[in-house]
Amino acid sequence: MLRGFDERNAAEREAVLQICVLTGDAGADATRTLVGDDPDPLTERWAAPYLDLEPRFALLAQAAGRVVGYALGAPDTRRFAEQFRDRPTTLTPEERRQHALGLVIPEVDEYPAHLHVDLLPEAQGRGVGRRLVEGVVARLKAAGASGIHLVVDPRNTGALAFYPRVGFRELRRDEQGVLFVRA
């Protein structure tokens, strides 16, 4: 079952942050890569700001009453990057500035929206990712976004195979990432 994120539900927020860590190393569990067991460098870049700044574009996948995945999106990446830079968090101002700079890719005006999709291993390979992508794309489109992009870690072979199957095409790749776009 897919549904919108409930901002008042702290447990739901925590579930999203946990999934961010459990899928945060090129699609695999990032727990062992955390410095001092601190999840914030991951979650404060890739999950929490989307829940706080763009909750309308947060979709959750639920199974047996448990959150097993999510799609997060931002319709206007330039605006999101500015808000990210100014959002108080455990990241330092310089870390926020650097991350915000990285969000504004050269193609951002043609593909202004961006998204993330992550599912726990048990929920993968059953069409949930496709449904999450379609759900968040519909919301981004309804908000007026003319194009969508996302960047995939080149080591993430599952995601590299997935996005072309759900309407995205590869635009360019380098050692930092593979850029996919959808008009």
Q: Where along the sequence are the contacts to ligand COA (CB under 6 A)?
A: 23, 27, 117-119, 124-130, 152, 156, 158-159, 161-162, 165-166
Q: How far is the CB of 166 from ligand COA (least distance, A)?
A: 6
Helix (H, G, I), strand (E, B) or coil at 89: coil
Which structure tokens are listed for 111?
């593909």
Q: How far is the CB of 47 from ligand COA (least distance, A)?
A: 12
Given the complex with ligand COA, which of 97 and 131 has the nearer CB atom?
131
**Residue corresponding to tokens 């969508």:** 148
Given the complex with ligand COA, which of 29 and 86 has the nearer CB atom?
29
Given the complex with ligand COA, which of 18 and 82 has the nearer CB atom?
18
Q: What is the DSSP string of 31-51?
A: GGG-GGG--HHHHHHHTHHHH
For the four alpha carbons of 80, 86, 89 and 91, in that order, the dihedral sign comes to positive
Are 115 and 145 a contacting pair, CB within 8 Å? no
Given the complex with ligand COA, which of 84 and 162 has the nearer CB atom?
162
Q: How far is the CB of 96 from ligand COA (least distance, A)?
A: 21
